[in-house]
């Protein structure tokens, strides 16, 4: 843990590089520090995964955009062509509310910057949500963490 899962409407695959977004998000997560200047997220435990939704319905299906005439000049526009991105960060308990808020601000700023060029061309809704345990069962098995432990 932490895991950031990104769910998005599949038409975005033709317009943005989601692998780049994943890397930017992971890199941003690794910059988040607690009140003592310590990293909040362990390098070996940081995961960002993105999944396109091939089937979706967003808002009114594009009617408002069509009525406003915004799709006439938009190469990606059309009825039902709104896009949506949902980012869900799941982290374990024990971090202060200030740290949680700081992590959220860091990640939403990365998302806003990443999608800014696309938002200039189309309508996108972006939601970032952070969920914190309690875990009912939390087992881990990994040989990644030793790679990042300092001797």
Per residue in 7-26, pLDDT tens?
999 999 999 999 999 999 99
Burial level of 111, CB count in 10 A (0-12/13-18/19+)? buried
Q: Does residue 86 lie within any of the structural domains?
A: yes
Q: Does residue 39 lie within any of the structural domains?
A: yes
Question: Any idea which of 2-11, 64-73, 112-121 has the lowest mean pLDDT?
Answer: 64-73
User: For 90-125, how does the pLDDT look when each residue is reduced to its tens digit (9 = 90+)?
Assistant: 998 889 999 999 999 999 999 999 999 999 888 899
**Angle at the Cα of 42 (from 38 to 44), degrees rounded to 5?**
150
**By three-state DSSP, how is residue 86 classified?**
strand
β-bridge pairing 83-91 and 47-53: unpaired
Q: Does residue 142 lie within any of the structural domains?
A: no
CATH of the domain at 13: 3.30.429.10
Question: Any idea which of 46-50, 130-134, 146-150 has the lowest mean pLDDT?
Answer: 146-150
Q: Does residue 123 lie within any of the structural domains?
A: yes
pLDDT reported for residue 73: 47
Q: Does residue 104 lie within any of the structural domains?
A: yes
Query: How far, in whole angstroms, is CA 108 from its chain's centroid?
Result: 8
Q: Does residue 134 lie within any of the structural domains?
A: no
Count of structural domains within the chain: 1
Provide the domain limits for residue 77: 3-127
Q: Does residue 148 lie within any of the structural domains?
A: no
Q: Does residue 20 lie within any of the structural domains?
A: yes
Q: What is the pTM of this model?
A: 0.85
pLDDT reported for residue 124: 92
Q: In the numeric block, which tokens belong to residue 133? A: 């345990």
120 vs 117: CA distance, rounded Å: 5
């Amino acid at each position: 843990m932490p895991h950031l899962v990104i769910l998005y409407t599949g038409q975005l695959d033709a317009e943005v590089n989601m692998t780049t977004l994943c890397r930017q998000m992971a890199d941003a997560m690794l910059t988040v520090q607690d009140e003592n200047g310590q990293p909040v997220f362990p390098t070996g435990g940081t995961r960002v995964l993105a999944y396109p939704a091939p089937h979706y319905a967003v808002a009114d299906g594009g009617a408002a955009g069509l009525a406003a005439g915004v799709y006439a000049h938009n190469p990606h526009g059309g009825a039902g062509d709104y896009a949506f991105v949902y980012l869900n960060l799941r982290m374990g308990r024990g971090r202060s509310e200030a740290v949680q808020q700081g992590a959220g601000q860091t990640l939403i700023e990365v998302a806003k910057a990443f999608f800014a060029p696309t938002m200039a061309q189309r309508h996108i809704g972006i939601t970032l949500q952070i969920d914190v345990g309690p875990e009912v069962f939390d087992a881990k098995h990994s040989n990644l963490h030793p790679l990042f432990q300092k001797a």
